[in-house]
Amino acid sequence: MSGYDAIIVGGGHNGLVCAAYLAKAGKRVLLLEASARLGGAAITRPFAPGFQVSACAHRVHMLPKSLVAELGLSKHGLSLVDQPVPTTALGEDGAHITLAGAEASGVVAEDAAAYKAFFERWAKFAAHLRPMLQMVPPRLGTAALPDLAKLARMGLQIRSLGRTEMRE
């Protein structure tokens, strides 16, 4: 493989994390990116004259603290806000909609209530699935006990939602 242990196609935030972990493990990594800039959705772009924003800025607070520490991202200038940032959609007529956690403002009461119910339901799903984000997935199609045990733990985690919510 031309002197490389791994070739990663795509230099977005996921590709960069994969490349960093492989390199940290002593692997020779080639990272290929079609764009002129690395970072994918995490790069900062201008959205109006004099203003820039990251496409994922409102989601960076979900970045696992263990990943930030393991890759030493703070030493490279990463600084995170420790709380979710409200999202606002600006209307040309001045009627803006803001989403802050489970609360929606700038909408009729019926829509605000529906959004709150939607948010709370998905927050419940996320709480049950979040532990799986950082685990190494089990190999499928094997009878190896560690993989079967991991699959069973994942199944129990989802099953703990209850029959109706688990199906959702």
pLDDT by residue, tens only, the chain of 168 residues: 479 999 999 998 889 999 999 999 999 999 999 999 888 877 888 888 988 777 776 666 677 888 889 999 889 877 776 667 788 999 899 899 999 999 999 999 999 999 999 999 999 988 888 888 778 889 988 999 999 999 998 888 888 888 888 888
Could you tell me which of 91, 118, 90, 93 has the C-alpha nearest to residue 103?
118
Contact 21, 27 (CB under 8 A): no
Distance CA 100, CA 107 (A): 13
pLDDT of residue 47: 80
pLDDT of residue 5: 96
Within-domain flag for 158: no
pLDDT of residue 68: 87
Contact 10, 35 (CB under 8 A): no
Residues 6+ apart with CB under 8 A from 126: none
Range of the domain at 22: 1-85
pLDDT of residue 149: 93
Please give the structure tokens belonging to residue 93. 């007529």
pLDDT of residue 13: 85
Within-domain flag for 134: no
For residue 64, what is the domain's CATH number? Answer: 3.50.50.60
How many domains does the structure of the chain reveal?
Answer: 1
CA atoms within 13 A on the CB side of 83: 4
Within-domain flag for 70: yes
Within-domain flag for 164: no
pLDDT of residue 162: 86
Within-domain flag for 74: yes
Could you tell me which of 63, 96, 95 has the C-alpha nearest to residue 82?
63
